[in-house]
Amino acid sequence: MADFIKFSPLLISTTIKHYLNGPPRPSWDLKCHVTWAVIRSIFSVSKSNAKTTEQMQEESFRSAPAQAGVMINEFKINNQHGYEAQVHLEKILKPYEHVLDTEWKDLKHDGINAEWVQVPNDGWETREIRKTILFLHGGGYYLSNKESHRGITSSLAKKANARILVIDYRLAPQNQFPAALQDALAAYLYLLNPPKDAWFEPLNPKNIVISGASAGGGLSLALGLAIRDAGLPSCAGIICWSPMVDLTHSTPSMLDEESIDFLPNLAKGFGVTHVESQVSKEFKEKAAALTAKIKKQNLGPKIWHDSFDRSDERLELYAPNEGLAIPYVSPMLAESLCNLSPLLLVAGDDERLRDEIIYFAHRSAEPTKYKGPSYAGKFEKSPFKTPTNTTLEIYEEMVHVFQILEHDSTTKSYERTVEFINKVTKVLNEPLPPSSYNCINGKGEFGPLKEHHKKVLNWENIGIVPNITRN
């Protein structure tokens, strides 16, 4: 009731606009239009600027209603798996340790908050193929939690007839990279080798699909890279809805002034600022100390572009400027995106992350033709050379993580997601088609990418931070 009162002026004005001027996109009905307006209002820069980081986080933790007929079991993944993940990460992060704060190695929590989302009496334990989805939530690496994504995870559990493991990975700025990746890898290791008191036997990795939305999509791909680089058993597939894969925000769609997306307009300033608080003060002090350590002591090779140097300004809460090109931070910039589990990458045509997702897809499927920036490592030196089977789907008239809207494209996206899951886990005895890049209209009809989608493929500033200042 409180939310209805809070948003009632916006609901009324949006309804009037819908019938007088029409919706932002022709295929949107009133409910879709209103939902978009509310979300855009919540994420507006003016509102974010008036709150502390802690206030933003607390509001983002609000539980979303789960679908009827779904059961949720909360528990904790113990630190045994966190320490095991740490051993693997220390090895693959060695080339980058000179730009990272070592605080991530100190596990201050008593385990990872997690939950199983499932349909009761689904017979999962007795199946030959125990379909399991490890889901990583979105929120820019500093907002949201497992409860806030229950609308998505409960829908996915029902539609895919699978069990979903969702975790609360540690959030920035209180926890810096690679804390979130460590928690994600710990959850994967938990599925492969559960403790003796767990209710299930170790899973075949080919029964597991890793999935995520927004930052969770980027984290899913980072996890895929970490699994590959650490030599761990690979999962069946990776599904990413609107994944954030480039924290340098270097692609053209990020600067599109005509975008109707609810993500902040980068053209008006890099990042979002919040009211000063205890958390922000501590973060700034630690960030300044790390930057000084990196610059003054010359501890290792420079792995960043000059555009990352921003006079004591951190561009992201998640990682230092000098670490933005680490492949497990910005997967799009990895020296190779080959030898990954099959990928399903989904984006809205109207979202700001569209171009980085398109470029990532082409780099993973056609590695010799599309490469990353030279400062981030050369593809020719990578041991991973086999192109990744990649399916890219761009949905017309859709925004960032449009699966939270009620629209025919949402229905189609879920159908395609379930089909992909069933193919990669071998529930459907059908081979996965070769890599493809698709544009899907409001009627669910598939076609090739359009000309404006291809512009990023010739973009000369991949991995270079745009020359803009923070608001």
Q: Are strands 343-348 and 390-395 parallel, antiparallel or unpaired?
A: parallel
Q: Distance of CA 11 to CAs 39, 50, 363, Å?
A: 12, 22, 42
The domain of 454 spans 71-255+327-458
Average pLDDT, the chain: 93
60, containing H or E segment? helix 53-60
At 224, list the tokens.
């895929």
Q: 57 lies in a domain?
A: no
At 178, list the tokens.
């690679």
Task: Tell me how long the chain is.
Answer: 471
CA angle at 176 for the pair 281 and 58, rounded to the nearest 5°: 65
Tens-place pLDDT, residues 93-142 = 999 999 999 899 888 888 999 999 999 999 999 999 999 999 999 999 99
208, containing H or E segment? strand 208-213
**Domain count of the chain?**
1
Q: 22 lies in a domain?
A: no
> Is this structure's pTM higher than 0.85?
yes
Tens-place pLDDT, residues 355-397 = 999 999 999 999 999 999 988 888 999 999 999 999 999 999 9
Q: What is the DSSP letter of 210?
A: E
Yes or no: say if 125 and 88 are a contact pair by the CB < 8 Å rule: no
Q: 207 lies in a domain?
A: yes
Other beta carbons within 10 angstroms of residue 228's beta carbon come to 20
Q: 154 lies in a domain?
A: yes
Q: 81 lies in a domain?
A: yes
Q: 42 lies in a domain?
A: no
Q: Are strands 71-77 and 446-447 parallel, antiparallel or unpaired?
A: unpaired
Mean pLDDT of 47-64: 90
Q: 157 lies in a domain?
A: yes
Where residue 373 sits, what CATH number does that domain have?
A: 3.40.50.1820
Mean pLDDT of 201-229: 98
Q: 152 lies in a domain?
A: yes
